Structure 1
């Protein structure tokens, strides 16, 4: 492994480096306080309430989803131990509730399973040497291979919207046996099915007979066959494949994704949302390509479909090292953007309007490009701004985030300040894509400092909420813990890895660079070290490392989340003699530098970073050269002796 030694002294500490180290220190204290307040000694969450219907597994895993991510970024060593402890404790807890069998969800939709999965995925990525989690990864992935009951290789479909360790679980859940007008919070989404005889509007559901008829139709027509959000299940197989490249997992993912690609191609490029038991799109919906569970008609449309399609498309990139299948989501995004109109009064335009207005800081006069999120018999409806994350991920995969045509179109059509760092925090640890894009494009140079200030504010608020919260929620309030999780990793992911955080609904954590601690043989920033990725282009990554501490550190820089990229050459700065200067003088001398470039030809380099030094790296890379694999940072004897 090529080793580069940093020689440039830290003459002044960059503010971003100070803030980054302060954030890591506060996060280390924050997760411990959450654990002390809300967890039992065996790792489960403190809860004496009940569970209702089929829903809830995701809500018990979600409060911890990014704790292993924090470890992988440079959090304390024991945060990973804590994450494993709580995964196992919560899994036992949910098994006792009857929601989990053999450590996996008994059977539920993949919109919610996708929310459960990031916690498990991030543990696997953080410590691939853990044989127990490796065995779990394979066992969970095998649930969706042919012959298990969840997948039909003849029709190339996952056979039901609700699947899991119990096989297909028909219907859409006991809580939808009736769909009544008095079900709080659902009126804004309208009717789940728009062609049930005698039901034309929401008020019709006040009739008990109509409520039962709608519920029965939902169970029969939405509770069988495949649905587009099932595409997120491919992550289970890719995660298992990353351990030992078992061809069965790769073959299944590509077969399943290609089946959906064919259906989209037959539908003018738009991904349909349903496939019947016979393998035919629209089989249970009068031939319509819309109407499936968590599909285009109800409840969220694009909000559900775009993330899961993006997850599947990126999974194929990891498997194949090519971009051949990203059209799965790109064509769908282009189709809804073609229907877009620039209008004002965002908060009043659709089912999710108030949330969008709050996120964008929009008033009634703010104009945005609004696209339809949903589709029914009368065409497209329910308009909102384009979700940036799927568009950003496509641009990131293709290499040019700063000049992507889709992103540029969205920015040009927006009255919102794309450079503003808005102070909010959602459970997905996303939503600040626009100012980061501006930073990479050179329009937003102080983004790192402002974003890290935001991240600190997010943690400080969560800690204040924890201080005033009860030790456990009321019966049924199973979203309590995710509202209080004080671990924030969105900004750190952007600045340290050069990538957005993983897509919340079952996405793998991807990266342009992963930083490792060569001395402690683990992923993450070594003590006292801060990192800033300031450029990510198809063949170029700019990375600065600063050792703010008083001990030498050995930093490993890996190209790609799974070692898939290659560092062709590494440019770096070297200090000229003259610092710290003559102790009889009182001025602090400047630090002139020169640039050097070394050939690498590998996925990793080592950087010896002495105390109080910094280095600016300019990495020439070739993407997706090597077969992706889960990576550890244990050094070989040869590397240790180099």
Structure 2
């Protein structure tokens, strides 16, 4: 069955697919004075749009190229370019002006061309272009996901775009072995063969600091790096331990959004089948690993198979603690919880609670390790050769809001007692709408003012530098207009309780006021 809303969002209307086609029509003819919150929503949409236009004219050229120094790497790379228009797809889908779609589409198209032309000298796999076939040549899914957060929401307003349709199919095909040049997937063991993967296939060797940091470049008196490195040597040192990438990793579950897009656009069951088979394999691994998701799966399908049998091994794994080169401090970089996006995608397609329950059980297992330290309860976030570590004063609760949102089971409300939005929905925070909308309006103004003080030039600007000035603020709008989750940086589709559509202009978003 083809899903009619092929726009990358969870719609309540989807639940009514079997309902009668003859739906009642409600006529509203009596004008009323709009409440303050409604006026603020309109104001925030318009203020966002005006600020986004100014932002685009400052940081992009007429081709949609980002005005910056193009680089490859985890510090700053191709994924950061489209992040500069993060939130713009949601703005248009909610009802912002038509040119917001035009601008973010230009930014997406421009960055594809820009980073196809951009080449490395020393990083071996990007010497012929950082993008190939309009997709990253190979990188991890923390960064791939960040770079695709715009694309995965483009279908909200632009699903009939021919190039979008071609890319949806092509991108999914990179992970279904439909492209001989990208053998990312092993169907026998149901694994993506490396944590670093893409349109040129998987990286089947240990990664190096160079692979992650990119080509040498002068930093001093030119750039202000987001991680605080003061020179190129510290950039490489930042990534010197990011070596163990061969084999599957929970981050790769983020890639399941690609076949989800393709299934929603085409209705072809092969995409649905691949997604469910792959996520089911991870659910089984969690069961076999005591309800904890392992952070490395070997090429032979065994847990910890590429990390000496350690289920917690690998880059961005449960035991991935590194040294910050410029300070000597320890940094704990466990990213397994990002993979919950795959569980959400499988739940969306099936409604099977087992995908949420797998994460509930992990939460229980981690929190069962609680112990008293200096008279205070503490919970772990990491696991290494000596057991659990990195104790913090809050329970493990990653993805709890998403689980509750999807299940609506009272037991899943734990750890969310202080969520202001949920309190409002419960009827216990009446002032929240106006407060949230005014907060976002103030943030749009703050970022626009800060942009006016930005003294960088294109040759002293990295791709992620403008992001802090991106004015798009959609938190209050998504919560109050569509009761939607934050897709975040994990390339998730947009889960909402409803959608707006303008029947006169034939576009997504609320209609203009009469």
Q: Flag whether TM exceeds 0.5 (same fold).
A: yes
The alignment status of 1:446 with 2:431, answered yes or no, reads yes
**Equivalent of 1:264 in 280, 286, 295:** 286
Residue correspondence of structure 1 range 570-581 to structure 2 within 5 A: none
What CA RMSD, in Å, does the superposition of the two structures yield over aligned residues?
3.1
The alignment status of 1:73 with 2:89, answered yes or no, reads no
Q: Which runs of 5+ in 1 are unaligned?
A: 189-205, 346-366, 412-417, 419-433, 529-550, 552-642
Report the counterpart of residue 226 of structure 1 in structure 2: 248
The alpha carbon displacement at 1:229 in A equals 0.7
The alignment status of 1:491 with 2:476, answered yes or no, reads yes
Residues 224-273 of structure 1, C-alpha deviation per residue, up to 9 Å, x if partnerless? 11111111010011011101121111111111111111110011111111
The residue matched to 2:466 in structure 1 has which SS?
coil
The alpha carbon displacement at 1:378 in A equals 1.6
Distance 1:144 1:295 in 2: 22
Structure 1 residues 15 and 251 mapped into 2: Cα distance closer, same or farther (>3 Å)? same
Report the counterpart of residue 376 of structure 1 in structure 2: 384
Using CA pairs under 8 Å that are at least 6 residues apart, name the structure with larger relative contact order, 1 or 2: 2
**Equivalent of 1:137 in 152, 168, 182:** 168
Which structure is larger by alpha-carbon Rg, 1 or 2? 1
The alignment status of 1:60 with 2:69, answered yes or no, reads no
Segment of structure 1 superposing worse, 454-463 or 322-331:
322-331
Structure 1 residues 235 and 301 mapped into 2: Cα distance closer, same or farther (>3 Å)? farther
**Equivalent of 1:106 in 137, 140, 146:** 137
Distance 2:226 2:39 in 1: 44
**Residue pair 1:122, 1:509 contacting (<8 A) in 2 also:** yes
Report the counterpart of residue 26 of structure 1 in structure 2: 47
**Equivalent of 2:405 in 385, 389, 396:** 396
Residues 465-486 of structure 1, C-alpha deviation per residue, up to 9 Å, x if partnerless? 1111136455463321211110
The alignment status of 1:150 with 2:184, answered yes or no, reads yes
Distance 1:334 1:484 in 2: 39
**Residue pair 2:209, 2:242 contacting (<8 A) in 1 also:** no
Report the counterpart of residue 158 of structure 2 in structure 1: 127
Report the counterpart of residue 315 of structure 1 in structure 2: 345
TM-score w.r.t. structure 1 length? 0.66
Structure 1 residues 408 and 177 mapped into 2: Cα distance closer, same or farther (>3 Å)? closer
The alignment status of 1:329 with 2:329, answered yes or no, reads no
The residue matched to 1:273 in structure 2 has which SS?
coil
Segment of structure 1 superposing worse, 318-327 or 491-500:
318-327
Segment of structure 1 superposing worse, 324-333 or 230-239:
324-333
Structure 1 residues 77 and 342 mapped into 2: Cα distance closer, same or farther (>3 Å)? farther
The alpha carbon displacement at 1:338 in A equals 2.7
Structure 1 residues 344 and 99 mapped into 2: Cα distance closer, same or farther (>3 Å)? farther
TM-score w.r.t. structure 2 length? 0.81
Segment of structure 1 superposing worse, 434-443 or 97-106:
434-443
Residue correspondence of structure 1 range 274-353 to structure 2 within 5 A: 274-298=296-320, 304-309=335-340, 311-340=341-370
**Equivalent of 1:239 in 261, 273, 283:** 261
The alignment status of 1:515 with 2:500, answered yes or no, reads yes
The alpha carbon displacement at 1:50 in A equals 4.5
Structure 1 residues 527 and 167 mapped into 2: Cα distance closer, same or farther (>3 Å)? same
The alpha carbon displacement at 1:174 in A equals 3.9
The alignment status of 1:90 with 2:111, answered yes or no, reads yes
Distance 1:71 1:185 in 2: 29
The alpha carbon displacement at 1:32 in A equals 0.3
Distance 2:278 2:358 in 1: 12
Q: Which runs of 5+ in 2 are unaligned?
A: 1-22, 119-128, 214-224, 322-330
**Equivalent of 1:162 in 171, 196, 208:** 196
**Residue pair 2:366, 2:396 contacting (<8 A) in 1 also:** no
Distance 1:341 1:302 in 2: 22
**Residue pair 2:66, 2:463 contacting (<8 A) in 1 also:** no
The residue matched to 2:25 in structure 1 has which SS?
strand
The alpha carbon displacement at 1:406 in A equals 4.3
Residues 277-302 of structure 1, C-alpha deviation per residue, up to 9 Å, x if partnerless? 11111122222110122121225878
The alpha carbon displacement at 1:335 in A equals 2.2
Aligned length: 455
The alpha carbon displacement at 1:328 in A equals 3.3
Structure 1 residues 486 and 388 mapped into 2: Cα distance closer, same or farther (>3 Å)? farther
Report the counterpart of residue 408 of structure 1 in structure 2: 414
Distance 1:335 1:496 in 2: 36
Structure 1 residues 409 and 168 mapped into 2: Cα distance closer, same or farther (>3 Å)? closer
- The structure that is strand-richer by fraction is 1
